[in-house]
Each structure stands twice: as C-alpha cells, then as structure tokens.
Structure 1
Amino acid sequence: MTPPTRPTALLRDSRALAALAVPLVLTQLAQVALTTTDTVMMGLLGTRDLAAGGLALVLFNQLRTMGVGLVTCVGNRVAAAAARAETPGGDTARTREDVRGIVRAGMVVATLAGLAGGAVMLLVGQGLTGLGQEAAVAGRARTMLVALAPGLLPCLWFQAIRQFTVGMRRPQALLRITLASVAVNAGLDWLLIHGTWGLPELGLPGIGVATSAVHLLSFLALYASAKRDTVLAPLLGLEMLKADGATVRELLRLGVPIAATYGSEAGFFSVTALMAGSFGSAALAAHTAVNQLVYIVFQVAVGLSHAASVNVSRALALGRPEAARRLKNTALACGAAVMAAVAVVYLTLPHLVLRPFLDAGDAGGDDRAVTIATRLLLVVAVLQFFDCAQNIGVGLLRGLDDTRSGFRITLVGYWVVGLPAAWLLAYAADLRTLGVWLGLLAGLATTAVLLLRHYGTGLRARARAMDREAVAAARRAGSRTE
C-alpha cells in the first residue's frame, strides 16, 4: 500500500484532531464568553469599574487557571487507561475501576484547590493598594473578589468532570451547558447590577455574584449530563472519601508542575496588568480590553492543546510514536491558520473589535483608552501566534507525562526573558503600556521555541525506549518458544 503524501496525511490528521478539538474549542469560546460578558457589563458601568473589575478577574483567572492545571492531567490519565483496554489482553473491568479512581482523586484535588484559592483571593484583595493601584480602583476590586471567591470551588469541580469527559472522548455536552451558562450569566449580571425584579442593586459586585452562581449551576448540569450518558455514568465515581491516596498523590505529582506552568503564565500576565495599572486607569482599561481579546482567541489554542495532549497520551499508550510526532505539526498548522485570520481582523478593523469594551469619545476617559488599545493590537497580531504555539507545546509535553519541563521552560521564557523586557521597555524606554506588551511578546516567543524543541527531543527518547521494550519482549517470547 502506497503511504499517503504529506498533504494527504496532514488532512487526515487534521480531521482526526478536529473530531476532539472542535467541540473543545467551541466550548472554550463559549466559556470565555462568560468573562467577556462580565467585561462588557463592567464597561457599561464606566472606565474605573472596568479597570477594577478587570483587575479582579485577572486575579481570579490566575487562581482558577492554576486549579485547572492541577486537574488537567485527569484527562490524560483517563485517556491512557481507556486506550489500554483496547490493546490485546486489555482488562475492561480493571480499566473501569482505574477510571473511577482517577475521577474520585480528581475531585479531591479540585476541592483542595478551590478552598485554598478562595482564601488567597480574599487575602490578595486586602493588599491591592500596596501594589500600586489607585485607592478607588482597589476598593472596587476588593468587593468584586469577595463576590467571586465562592465560585472557584464549583468551577474546579466542573473542570475535573470536564477532563473526565475529554479523556473518554465524549465532550459534546460541554458545549450545550456552556452556551446555556452564557445566557444565564448575562441575565444575572443585568439583574444584580441594576437590582431589577426585586433583587438588590449590587453594581459591580453583582457581576461577581452572578459568575459564582453560574459556576455552581454549570457543575450541576455537567454532572447530571454525565450521569445520563450510558458510557460515562458507570465510570463517574464522586465518592471523594473513597479516593485512593496513591492516585491523589500521582495526580498531584503530575498536576503541580502543570499548575505551576499555568500559574507562571497567568502570573506573568497578572504582573503586567499591575504594571499597566501604574500608568493610570485609562492604561489599565486599555490593557484589560486587549487582554480580553487575547484571552478569547487563546481559547482556540487551549482546545487544540487539550485535544493534541489527549491524543498523544492515547497514541503512546497504543505504541504509535509516529502519530504523536505528526500531532505536533497538525496542531501548529491549525492554530497558525486561525491566528492569521484573526490578525487580519485586528489590523483592519481595530475600532470594531474594541467597541464592545471601550467607547471612543465617552466622557469617562474611554477615548484615551481606545487610542492606547489600538496601538496594542499591532503587537497582539504577532503575539498571538507565539501564545498559541506555547500553549500547544505545554499540552504536547503533558501527553508525554513530562509536566516538569514545561514549568522550567516557562520560568525562563516568562520571568527571565519576558518580565525584564517588559520592565525595560515600559519604564526605562518609556514606552509605557506598549512596552509591557512588547515584553509579553518576547516572553511568549521564547517559551514557544523552547517548549516545541523539548517535545521533539522527549518524543525521540520515548520512541527509542519503546523500541527497546519491543525488542526485549520479542526476545522473551522467543525464549519461551524454545
């Protein structure tokens, strides 16, 4: 049989990747619509509320992202266990119990992370003025953090169940639930901001209360959906008191470096948000608006990263390192195509994409914020290619069960290269917010190159190890025959 040509192989691999990636990308985009809706509602309240609420969301998203990192490996572990059941001699009953144990352990990890993260949010909220923020902005952000903190726990429960469904390659219900949550969130935002239908008029904190409520409702909906799925229901074990300590420790062993990696990136963006805030509320509002646009597009990379990661785990469990090698090129090609299309929109229609967040000519100071944000979009058009590539690289390494290298590499890219570059360009070169984003670009580019190169090295080492194991197995089989 003639081997497929490279274009044919790319098309075939793209279709296989898309089968899992498309539902995940759409789910990610729907999920980020929650934050986007919140940001738009903040913008309607004024520039100062947008600056304060955006700062609170940055801190919430950092802790949420680190919590998600702790449970992300649930998907990889579930995928590998399910794949082993398909190999010759696979034990289906053992696989079922393994998956149930992974889910129980994942819920334990999510609970610990949610409680700890909520406490940190409350503590950080008390020290914002000491971090260089305007007193009025810090006070508003503090009330927003108090409202957001209770939502972190159900948010991470949702993520643990989500990873289970992704690992089982049955993520379809995620999109329906997330789309519904967007509509509910928008309605609750409006009701609680303005105090309609007899509800209290909470203003900015009402957005945080609505978001926390939506996270709880989303978790309950996903759990109910999984229990109705004939494939997922028998594997969905939430008896956290029965969780195996060894499995919890294994998830933490893999998850802590992932959380540190995600936290490294989120912390990088959080510090740069504080840097932008030091230039005034207009600069912080511009930074918040552009960061939200980057966050929206980033969800494509997240979906591709999760799909590639799970498929790498599956390919290696089935003994197919060549398929794992092709997955890197396929995911990068798909990501680059999307980023190029978005960059064209940013460069040709900047005011259109900024309009949902900032209104030029508004008396609240949006006119200056729009000017700053328009300049930042020129940097973002390039930055998002590297942002996508580095996220895919982290996912690929996770598929190799190599979670420590990603963390070490992000430390170099973000903190050794990116942050010093941002400081020098923003303050020493007096480029202010533009310099902050040029530093972000330098850090993400460095990280992307190092991660992808390390994946290639690690995959070659894994392939050689698999070849040695195959030779040893053949020799043992030959000895038994003799």
Structure 2
Amino acid sequence: MSTDTTDTTSTSRAEASGAAWWVKNSRALLRLAFPLILTNFAYVALTTVDIVMLGRLGAVEIAAAGLAIALFNQLRTTGTGLVTGVSNLVAEARVRDDRERVGALLFAGFFWATVCGVVFCVALLLIGPLLVLLGQDPTVVDRAGEFLMVLAPGMLPCLWFQNLRHFTTGLKRPGPLLAITLASVGVTIGLNYVLIHGKFGLPAFGFVGVAIATVTVFLLSFLAFVAVILRDSTLRPYLTSPHARRWNGDAVRSVWRLGLPISGTYASEAGFFSVLTLVIGSLGVEALAAQTVLNQIVYIVFMISAGLSHAASILISEADGGNDYREARRTGLLGTAWGVIATLLVAVVYLVVPEAIVSLFISAEHADNADIIALTVTGLLIAALMQVFDATQNIGNGILRGIGDTAGPFRISLVGYWLIGLPAGYLLGVTADWGVEGVWTGQTIGLAATAALLLVAFLRRADRLHREKSGAPATEPEPS
C-alpha cells in the first residue's frame, strides 16, 4: 500500500510538473510569436487588398492577376530565402562586435537581392509563351502578361526591403517593420482605388492599376525603411559604412552558402503551389479564379504558423546552444501543438460560414462569378483540413532549422511536395477527372506527407543528439 501511494504521488508530481512546463513555455512561445504574427498579417494584407479589389472586376481579371501574382510570389519567396541567412550571420558578427563584418554582410545581401531581382524580373517578362504551352488560357496569359509587365520590376525593391528586414533582425532592432507594413496597407488601399477607377484626374488603369499600386508600395516601403535606419543612431553607421559599399568575397560567399538551402526549401514549397496553380489553370478560367481566392485565404492563416514556426525555432536554438535536447524536443512538440490548435479553430469558422468568407473576396453582383463562388466554397471546406497539415509542415521546417538541420527540410520537401503531392493532385484532378477539387485533395495529401516526414525527422534528430550528449546507449528510452 505504501509503495502504491508513493508511486501515485510521484506520478501526480510528474504530471503537475509537465503541465506547469507546458503552461510556462506556451506563454514564452506565444509572447515571442505574437508580434511576428502581427507583422506577417500586416504584410499579407498587401496582397489581400489586391485580391479583394480584383474580385470586383470579373473572372478573367481575377484569374490573370492571380496567375501573375502566383508567379511573382514564387520567385520573390526564392529570393527572400537567399537573403534570410543575413540575419543569422549579422547576429554572429554582432556578438563578436565585428562592425566591419556587419557592413560587409549588408552589402552581400544587397548584392544577392539585386542579382535575384534582375534575373527574376527578366524571367517574369519572358514566361508568357511557356504558360500557353503548359495549357493556360491564351486570353488569361495575355492579360497576365500586361500585369507582369508592370509588376516584374517591383522584384528589386521588394528583395531590397527583405534584405534590410533580415539585417535589422540580426541586430535585434526589427521595430519599424510592423509600422512600415501597416502604413503600406493604407497606401495600397488608396492607390488601388485611385488607379483602378481613375480618380483625381488620373486615367482608369483597370486591373493593371493594382500592379502599379503594388510596385509603388514596394518602392515606398524600401525608401521608408532606409529613412528609418538613417535616423537610428545604432543602425545608421552600418548603412553608411564604407564596408556596406565595398565588395567582400567572403561575406558574399557566406550569404550564398547559408541562404542556398533555405532558398531551395522556400522555392520547393512555393513551386509546388505554383505548379498546382498551373494545373488548375488548365481546367478553366473559373477554376483558376477560385484557386486565386482560396490561396489568398489560406495564405492569411498560414501567417499564424509562420510566426509560431519562427518563435519555436528561436527557442529551440537556445536549447540547442545549451545542449538541452530534451528541452528542444518538447519545445518542437509544443510549437506543433499550438499550430494544430490555431488552425483547427480557424477550420471551425470555415465549416460554419464558408459563403460569408468567400463573399469578402468575390462580388456576387457579377452573374459570371456564381461558379467561382461555388468552387471556392468547396475548396474552403477542403482547406479546413489542408491548412492543419500546412501549418504542421511549416512549423516542422522551423523546428528542424532550430536544431541545426537546414538541408533536411529541402530534401523532405522534394519527396512530400513533388513525389507525393504533385502526382496525387494531377492524378485526382486531371486523370481521375475530379477537377479542381481533386487537385486540392492531392495538395492536401502532399502537405500531410511532408508534415509527417518533417516531424519524424525532428524527433529522431533531437533524440539522437540527446543520446550523444548524455552518452547513453542507443537503446535508452527516449525522453517524452
């Protein structure tokens, strides 16, 4: 009886201790993730405003601009991944108080942002004939070409802004990001209204006005960020330093080496969605328009998991630095759990009021929008499950990076997205003739496979590092 009582007491204490850990670390995780999520929401609001206003113009306009924006975002994401490593490298140099190195890394980031910007701009301007060969509606491609003719040059200020973003984050001074992004939303709304409809004596540019507004906001945001840095006594010396204007081969190579696997992972994920968008585009204008709206809705929710992923990655890096891999393992599971909880709560809203959500993006006043609305509502019901896996795989990428694995997520993305998700989407949507719903189902299968592979890889790596650190044999029970 005494032994049983002791065992029960020990179990209760362990459970209480575990519960206390989850509460305490949930607070730390959410406190770190919340400002990141807010900044992400403000950023995605820029494209959301574009899609909402395009939804008032008609099916061809939504489809054409949606195709153009999807292609632009594919390359923007790839370029952003390449300069993401600037923040890590700057942070290391800051710890060593190596101000020359920080300036050189800033230059290196601008160098790669400019190279990517020019190459990607040319690619977007020349991609039209390829899209027709891939089965896209020629009318939609022509209109998308008009949109890209204006939007493509915006790649340069967009990537320059991203480089400054990671530079200031590495110096632990990312403060102006949220304020600049929020201001950009207001400017985007105003410019879209003026340029689409032709106000204040300006001509009505129609849907191309959205592209003009977007490029203008990219440029103004970058210039505003530069102005903020020049007024900051801590940041200004780095931007005005001669090292920030001088070639440094080692810094350029360092940014390339660290950013390349991150860029590859980002490109693989974005490419997966872009190729599926092309598959859906081959099914008709209405299907492509529905995909454009659905992508934007899911992208908004994705910002929650992006913030959680970054926060969990930082906390795991701290545990990794202290060789506490049991803590890293638990933090990874904690971040994943909060991603699932958040997306399930959103899924309830999708299931209860799907029509109301879609009506925010597509005007029911146009008779030819009825089929698009019906398709998007169906897609939203599928997305209720899909976004849970999407959040899990996004957080899986972050927690693996936190524990020191940057190549693993790229390899896993090739399997989950390209060897499982893409074939499943094509087989169900085109071969089995399920249409756009089949493509969305295949996309869900690919995200689920990727999420599972990433989570297993994280747990195995954390357990292996824990055993190596503790010197325990391979048969030692894994920590919970």
Q: Give the TM-score normalised by structure 2.
A: 0.89
Distance in 1 separating the partners of 2:84 and 2:383:
27
CA offsets per residue over residues 315-364 of structure 1, 9 Å max, x none? Answer: 4345544443333123212212211111011000001110122234622x
**2:6 aligned partner:** none
**2:333 aligned partner:** 329
Q: Is the 8 A contact 1:108 1:243 kept in 2?
A: no
Q: 2:304 aligns with which of 268, 276, 300?
A: 300
Q: 1:143 aligns with which of 126, 142, 146?
A: 146
CA separation of 1:415 and 1:328: change in aligned 2, threshold 3 A? same
Q: 1:341 aligns with which of 328, 333, 345?
A: 345
CA offsets per residue over residues 202-222 of structure 1, 9 Å max, x none? Answer: 222221111111111111222
- 1:428 maps onto 2:431 in alignment: yes
Q: 1:285 aligns with which of 263, 286, 289?
A: 289
Q: Which amino acid aligns with 2:177?
A: L
Shift of 1:279: 1.8
Shift of 1:126: 4.2
Shift of 1:166: 2.9
Shift of 1:198: 2.6
Distance in 2 separating the partners of 1:227 and 1:397:
36
Q: 1:38 aligns with which of 47, 50, 68?
A: 50
Taking only the aligned residue pairs, the percentage that are identical comes to: 48
Q: 1:7 aligns with which of 9, 19, 29?
A: 19
Structure 1 regions of 5+ residues with no counterpart? 86-90, 469-482
CA separation of 1:126 and 1:196: change in aligned 2, threshold 3 A? farther
Choose 62-71 or 195-204, whichever is displaced more: 195-204
Shift of 1:243: 4.4
**1:54 aligned partner:** 66
**1:132 aligned partner:** 135
Q: Is the 8 A contact 1:79 1:167 kept in 2?
A: yes
Distance in 2 separating the partners of 1:230 and 1:330:
38
Distance in 1 separating the partners of 2:38 and 2:435:
35
- 1:261 maps onto 2:265 in alignment: yes
1:124-203 maps to which residues of 2 (within 5 A)? 124-203=127-206
Q: 1:313 aligns with which of 287, 310, 317?
A: 317
Q: Is the 8 A contact 1:76 1:309 kept in 2?
A: no
CA separation of 1:107 and 1:299: change in aligned 2, threshold 3 A? same
Distance in 2 separating the partners of 1:380 and 1:453:
24
- 1:75 maps onto 2:87 in alignment: yes
Shift of 1:266: 1.1
Distance in 2 separating the partners of 1:318 and 1:228:
37
Q: Give the TM-score normalised by structure 1.
A: 0.89
**1:226 aligned partner:** 229
CA offsets per residue over residues 261-317 of structure 1, 9 Å max, x none? Answer: 111111111111111112211111111111110111111112222223334334434
Shift of 1:375: 1.1
CA separation of 1:464 and 1:81: change in aligned 2, threshold 3 A? farther
Q: Give 3-state SS (helix, strand or coil) of 1:128's partner.
A: helix
Choose 12-21 or 283-292, whichever is displaced more: 12-21
Q: Is the 8 A contact 1:76 1:313 kept in 2?
A: no
Q: Is the 8 A contact 2:332 2:399 kept in 1?
A: yes
Matched positions, count: 457
Q: Which amino acid aligns with 1:329?
A: L
Instruction: Provide the aligned C-alpha RMSD in A.
Output: 2.3
Shift of 1:79: 4.1
Q: Is the 8 A contact 1:321 1:463 kept in 2?
A: yes
Q: Is the 8 A contact 2:56 2:363 kept in 1?
A: no
Shift of 1:122: 0.9
